[in-house]
Amino acid sequence: MEILSVSAEVAPWSKTGGLGDVAAALPKALAARGHRVLAVAPRYAPYPDAWDTGMRLRFPLFGQVHEVRLFHTQAAGFDLLFVDHPAICRGGIYGDERGGYGDNLFRFALLSRAAIEAARRFPVSAGGDAARPLTEAGPLRVLSHDWHAGLVPVYLRHHYQAHGLLTDARVAHVIHNLAHQGVASFDDWWGLDLPAAAAPVLDMHGRMNCMKAALVSADRVVAVSPSYAREITEQEHGFGLDGILRMRGGALSGIINGIDPTEWSPAADRHLPATFGPEVWPEAPTKPGPVGGKLRCKAELQRELGLPVRADLPVLGFIGRLTGQKGIDLLEAVGPWLAHQPCQVVLLGTGEERYERALSALGRRYPSAVAVKVGFDVGLAHRITAGADILLMPSRFEPCGLNQLYALAYGTVPLVHATGGLRDTVHSFDPGRDAGTGWAFGPASPEAFQHALSMALLTWHQFPASFAGLARRGMAERNDWAASAEAYVRLLAG
């Protein structure tokens, strides 16, 4: 197949969360299966490993003809183009310290238009075939990710197909997070260079809404887990689009994300002081906690974060954006209680200032029990995933979640709120059958969270063999892209 993937982020060049990881790993998995894959993302900054192709594209947008340059790399294992324009290349991804950029609609309209044109012009090779533009090699299959690429199916339908071009192209729009919809004033409508027939597509209660436009224009809609696909058709998690998603029910499905083992594997992780395999959780442990390489990672983590180096306490980790979605209020609520339990807590994240302040204060108040790092630090994220015994994800909603998948692979037992992808990937501990891979609590209340934490700490201290079993079962799971990439292939082929 000839597959175009369009996204606002692609790791490691640009990443604020899971979208960046998936937009790199999924094209790679599809290319590895012999498909002709082109990914297109913005060039937010000069990237030293991406070269100017010399290709220039021009579009009328917002009353002016704009020229974009295309930069190219194959460093990620597939053809990746970066769209360059002064409005895009200003350092930040979505904004700067003063907030979101005011012209994001324009920036991502440029991305969307450039991506379709790139599929028509930029030569891509597959499995030793001669390099050809995607649209010359066969019918185009498009993955548009989140609202930033939401205009791709709209331009395709109303700009190209309405003129008899690319009529055999099909789009699957992938929802990574429905909370972000690309809402703008309808006063900006004229700037998008779309025919009047597209206006109702973009209209949502008198405002422009790029996510809604994508949901009604795409041939298929994919949510990043089966549970999330169900939840977004309900009012609680639908963010106002649940009615439209119910209407599109027949075209909506859920495909869980995978992890990229070249980036996230405890046996070969360049960010760790020691690498390790499943032997770190022995079947008949003589005392609680991991041994070998994982114990070394744990000790180094404690040292790095200024905590007492203690093997006799479990380390509970949290990594993520500090927003309401991630259940930071729940962490805040149980924080003082947790600081008095026999454990250590390490928290890494950036986000809303009130949460950064609240968690930092917790760290200052309990310096020997709680370590808090405000910042975005990929290396430390790996070291926490490896060095912690338990990973906390009390998210109020979670489309898929990647950190719990990384935790499972690293023998770190996830403790999560049973929602979305967390519900689909973490199987709650059943002591009777010695089954499960973590703890999944509900509802999202401080009481339920605290109860799950008590159970996890009790298991770690009193039942080391049970805890080791949980960790070992998690490590044995294969959460890589194989099955999910096949599911995408079936969806795009259908």
Interface with ligand ADP by CB under 6 A: which residues?
17-19, 21, 319-321, 348-350, 376-378, 381, 400-403
Measured from the CB atom, is 16 or 53 closer to ligand ADP?
A: 16
Measured from the CB atom, is 219 or 398 closer to ligand ADP?
A: 398
Distance from chain centroid for Cα 172: 17
Q: How far is the CB of 264 from ligand ADP (least distance, A)?
A: 8
206: left (phi over 0), alpha (psi -120 to 50) or beta: left
Measured from the CB atom, is 186 or 376 closer to ligand ADP?
A: 376
Q: How far is the CB of 20 from ligand ADP (least distance, A)?
A: 7
454 and 314 in contact (C-beta within 8 Å)? Answer: no
Measured from the CB atom, is 198 or 331 closer to ligand ADP?
A: 331
Measured from the CB atom, is 203 or 356 closer to ligand ADP?
A: 356
What are the φ/ψ torsions at residue 171 (nearest 5 degrees)? -120, 135
Q: How far is the CB of 411 from ligand ADP (least distance, A)?
A: 17
Q: How far is the CB of 363 from ligand ADP (least distance, A)?
A: 15
The pair of three-digit structure tokens given for residue 172, joined into one six-digit string: 């699957």
Q: How far is the CB of 22 from ligand ADP (least distance, A)?
A: 8
| Calpha distance 420→404 (Å, rounded) | 12
Measured from the CB atom, is 214 or 372 closer to ligand ADP?
A: 372
| Calpha distance 311→327 (Å, rounded) | 28
242 and 234 in contact (C-beta within 8 Å)? Answer: yes
| Calpha distance 159→329 (Å, rounded) | 45
Element containing residue 204 per DSSP (H, E):
strand 203-204
Measured from the CB atom, is 318 or 488 closer to ligand ADP?
A: 318
Q: How far is the CB of 259 from ligand ADP (least distance, A)?
A: 9
Q: How far is the CB of 377 from ligand ADP (least distance, A)?
A: 5
| Calpha distance 210→106 (Å, rounded) | 12
* Burial class of 277 by CB neighbour count within 10 A (0 to 12, 13 to 18, 19+): middle
Between helices 328-339 and 446-462, what is the axis angle to 10°? Answer: 50
Question: Using CA atoms in the order 351, 355, 361, 367, what is the torsion angle rounded to 10 degrees?
Answer: -60
